[in-house]
A = this chain, B = another copy of it.
Amino acid sequence: MAKTVALFLFVYVAGIVAGHGEYRGKETVSVTATLGMPWPMPQQYSSTQDLFTINRNAFKFRATGQSCDILESAFFRYQTIIFGLREEVLKFHPKLRAGTLTELDVNVKNKCDRYPYLGMDESYNLTIAASGAILNSNSVWGALRGIETFSQLVLQQSTDMFSVNGTTVVDYPRFQHRGLLLDTSRHFLDVTIIKQNLLAMSQSKFNVFHWHIVDDQSFPYTSNNFPDMSKMGGYDSRHIYTQDQIAEIIEYARILGIRVVPEFDSPGHSQSWGKSIKDLLTKCYSGSKPNGQYGPIDPSLESSYGFLAKFFAEIGKVFPDHYVHLGGDEVNFDCWKSNPNITAFMKQKNFGTDYAKLEEYYVQRLLDIVSGVNKGYMIWQEVVDNNAKVKPDTIVEVWKGGYQAEMSKVTSLGYKTLLSSCWYLNYISYGTDWPKYYSCEPYNFNGTAEQKKLVIGGETCMWGEYVDNTNVISRTWPRASVVAERLWSAQSVKDATAAAPRLEEHRCRMIKRGFPAESVNGPGYCPQEYSIPV
């Protein structure tokens, strides 16, 4: 393109900024947003002052390598995300000047996978130059991540006219597991909300939806084999997920390159299971009599394992991801201790009074069942804390305080590890709280290089006690994005002050894209605000 044109355009953009900036001093807005900067920050990123214009009626994505439904759907989606709804799609403009960009060539080397998986290749290279805009990736997953980055570089200048600077990006994730947990047991979340959240996740390059689908409070998973579990254990018939809805969520996530890892937490956190499955939960005793309360799953009964085998055989089929999260957290031993049948079972097994051994026995049998249906598993840290022996390829999720010591311990035992302790978004507080999440570093523990390699990522968690359809999106975003950057970008990208203007832009971009992403940097405004239907 002609250099003069590029220069003219750059000045034009700067003029727009100054127009707002002249009455936007330090005293009025806390953080001034960047313009056209990506979030999370790519591993290598540089831009030039060359500015390319894009007429939205004349731009298209083009697959120059492998393609498939995932890529085609991304092309379709991002046309709208970047350019909005066009009156005429791909109207032909025969006389476009030099200095314009009319396509992004997306060159995927390998045949598409059907589902995203742990360890998938998400790397990509993106070049925007006078010679054209090219996105290269080995896999379709890398293409998805690269198209998102491209979309964040493009700025709207007028109704039809957009612009993008000359840019070179070499990018890949720092961690292979970048998850977000939602809890649909404490409060039910509509399918529309879960899908909205998945779309938001993809725009921060998250790749795992950890679906804490059931818990003590309710059991919204509709089982094919045990339909009474949701009928009796769900809050009511309007607060359950049908098999069709679950398939819809998995498919939506797949298209976005997001794995769905369901969690069926046991032996604790399973009160809702007991509403329908007879004798599954331990009867708690007061003295010599059952007191009407129930504890964790009864590990002394063969029937429990019979049920679990049948149940997880189904789960293995319903959820395509290789991993299922088996929970294992916060098992209270009091009820087990009160139950005479369990006391007898402990004696028979020579467990003495060590109830952790009983838990290990349960967990071991559960893991064998799940291995038997050819699934890998994730567990919360307590399983390892209680010295239960688990398979070497188990993924242990660290969630309690004092995570540094725990990360040392779990990795010294040779387990793959995920960190979530410092990323509990549900614990809100007044003001700008995101730097707290941003400062958390998964490698911040004592351990060998070998141990550090076992850290495969982390998860940010929005537990459901105080969020539901009304506020889960606004409370999660853009705070979760902060974690996404620490999990994707280089370890050195950790300066909150430097990140704030980019985060501000990211929030406003999310709002422009329709998400009610809340204010996190204090007073200010977005060029386009969130609006509700009148």
A residues sitting closer than 8 Å to B (CB atoms) are 20, 23-24, 27-29, 185-188, 190, 192-193, 196, 216-218, 232-233, 235-236, 238-239, 271-272, 275, 426-431, 464-471, 474-475, 511, 516-520, 522-525, 527-534
A431 cross-chain contacts in B, Cβ below 8 A: 465-466
User: Once the chains are docked, how many angstroms separate the CA of A156 from the CA of B528?
Assistant: 40
A534 cross-chain contacts in B, Cβ below 8 A: 192
Closest 5 CB pairs of A and B: A470-B516, A186-B523, A471-B474, A235-B525, A469-B530
Central interface residue in A426, A519, A528, by most chain B CB within 10 Å? A519
B524 near A470 with CB under 8 A, answer no
State the Cβ distance, A237 to closest chain B Cβ, in Å. 10
User: Once the chains are docked, how many angstroms separate the CA of A511 from the CA of B187?
Assistant: 14
A533 near B530 with CB under 8 A, answer no
Smallest Cβ-Cβ distance to A195: which chain B residue? B534
Main SS at interface, chain A = loop
Taking a contact as CB atoms closer than 8 A, the residue among B27, B185, B529 that contacts A190 in the complex is B529
Taking a contact as CB atoms closer than 8 A, the residue among B428, B519, B528, B530 that contacts A428 in the complex is B428
B28 near A188 with CB under 8 A, answer no
Taking a contact as CB atoms closer than 8 A, the residue among B217, B466, B520, B530 that contacts A466 in the complex is B520
B28 near A217 with CB under 8 A, answer yes
User: Once the chains are docked, how many angstroms separate the CA of A468 from the CA of B511?
Assistant: 11
A192 cross-chain contacts in B, Cβ below 8 A: 531-532, 534
User: Once the chains are docked, how many angstroms separate the CA of A493 from the CA of B148?
Assistant: 54
Q: A192-B534, A531-B190 are in contact. Are A465 and B522 (CB under 8 A)?
A: yes
State the Cβ distance, A100 to closest chain B Cβ, in Å. 28
B427 near A430 with CB under 8 A, answer yes
A186 near B522 with CB under 8 A, answer yes
User: Once the chains are docked, how many angstroms separate the CA of A528 from the CA of B516?
Assistant: 21
Q: A29-B217, A193-B532, A474-B470 are in contact. Are A187 and B236 (CB under 8 A)?
A: no
8 CB contacts below 8 A, A to B, read: A23-B233, A29-B235, A187-B525, A218-B523, A428-B428, A464-B523, A471-B471, A471-B518
A235 cross-chain contacts in B, Cβ below 8 A: 24, 28-29, 524-525
B24 near A518 with CB under 8 A, answer no
A426 cross-chain contacts in B, Cβ below 8 A: 430
Q: A272-B28, A529-B188 are in contact. Are A475 and B468 (CB under 8 A)?
A: no
A524 cross-chain contacts in B, Cβ below 8 A: 187, 217, 235
State the Cβ distance, A515 to closest chain B Cβ, in Å. 8
State the Cβ distance, A473 to closest chain B Cβ, in Å. 8
A532 near B27 with CB under 8 A, answer no
Smallest Cβ-Cβ distance to A28: which chain B residue? B217
Smallest Cβ-Cβ distance to A30: which chain B residue? B465
Q: A29-B217, A192-B534 are in contact. Are A529 and B469 (CB under 8 A)?
A: yes
User: Once the chains are docked, how many angstroms separate the CA of A188 from the CA of B186?
Assistant: 33
B516 near A471 with CB under 8 A, answer yes
A531 near B430 with CB under 8 A, answer no
State the Cβ distance, A77 to closest chain B Cβ, in Å. 15
User: Once the chains are docked, how many angstroms separate the CA of A275 from the CA of B25?
Assistant: 10
State the Cβ distance, A530 to closest chain B Cβ, in Å. 4
B188 near A238 with CB under 8 A, answer no
Smallest Cβ-Cβ distance to A27: which chain B residue? B271
Q: A470-B511, A522-B466 are in contact. Are A430 and B430 (CB under 8 A)?
A: no
Smallest Cβ-Cβ distance to A272: which chain B residue? B28
A27 near B523 with CB under 8 A, answer no
State the Cβ distance, A373 to closest chain B Cβ, in Å. 29
User: Once the chains are docked, how many angstroms separate the CA of A28 from the CA of B233?
Assistant: 10
Smallest Cβ-Cβ distance to A474: which chain B residue? B471
A427 cross-chain contacts in B, Cβ below 8 A: 430
Smallest Cβ-Cβ distance to A467: which chain B residue? B519
A532 cross-chain contacts in B, Cβ below 8 A: 190, 192-193, 196, 469
A530 cross-chain contacts in B, Cβ below 8 A: 468-470
A516 cross-chain contacts in B, Cβ below 8 A: 469-471
A28 near B271 with CB under 8 A, answer yes
A465 cross-chain contacts in B, Cβ below 8 A: 431, 519, 522-523
User: Once the chains are docked, how many angstroms separate the CA of A275 from the CA of B24?
Assistant: 10
State the Cβ distance, A274 to closest chain B Cβ, in Å. 10
